[in-house]
Amino acid sequence: MKSKYKSIIYSIGVLLLTVGVLDKLWWLYICTIYTEFEECRVAYLSLFPERFQNAFLLTVIEILLLAVAAIIFSESKKAIYQKKASKILMIISLILFGWSVFSLM
């Protein structure tokens, strides 16, 4: 990782992880409002543009975002850039990644 791009790439990783965390939090919030799974799913999907109203597609996109974030944090850790924060954020990314992969099963 080149030194002049470290902060930009790291910021992209933080942004991707933030999107993943917010998506999970939004799903959990919607699940507290509705009692039936189908109602939750419809309410959640209605938040997205019509072309993205597919649960499988949204999950795959989230998996990709979290995988890229985990890779960025792993590389940052190897480059000794924000080493402790990178390790924590990488673990969070991998946990959410695993959760998303498990939700596809």
Sign of CA dihedral 103, 64, 70, 23: negative
pTM score, two decimals?
0.87
pLDDT above 90 (res 81): no
Q: Give me the pLDDT at residue 89, please.
A: 93
pLDDT above 90 (res 6): no
Run of H or E including 91: helix 83-104
Cα–Cα distance, 38 to 21 (Å, whole number): 22
Q: Which of 103, 24, 21, 5 is nearest to 69 (CA)?
A: 21
Write out the two tokens for 105.
């099963």
pLDDT above 80 (res 105): no
pLDDT digits (tens, 9 = 90+) for 22-80: 999 999 999 999 989 999 999 999 999 999 899 899 999 999 999 999 999 998 888 88
Write out the two tokens for 58.
């949204």
pLDDT above 80 (res 2): no
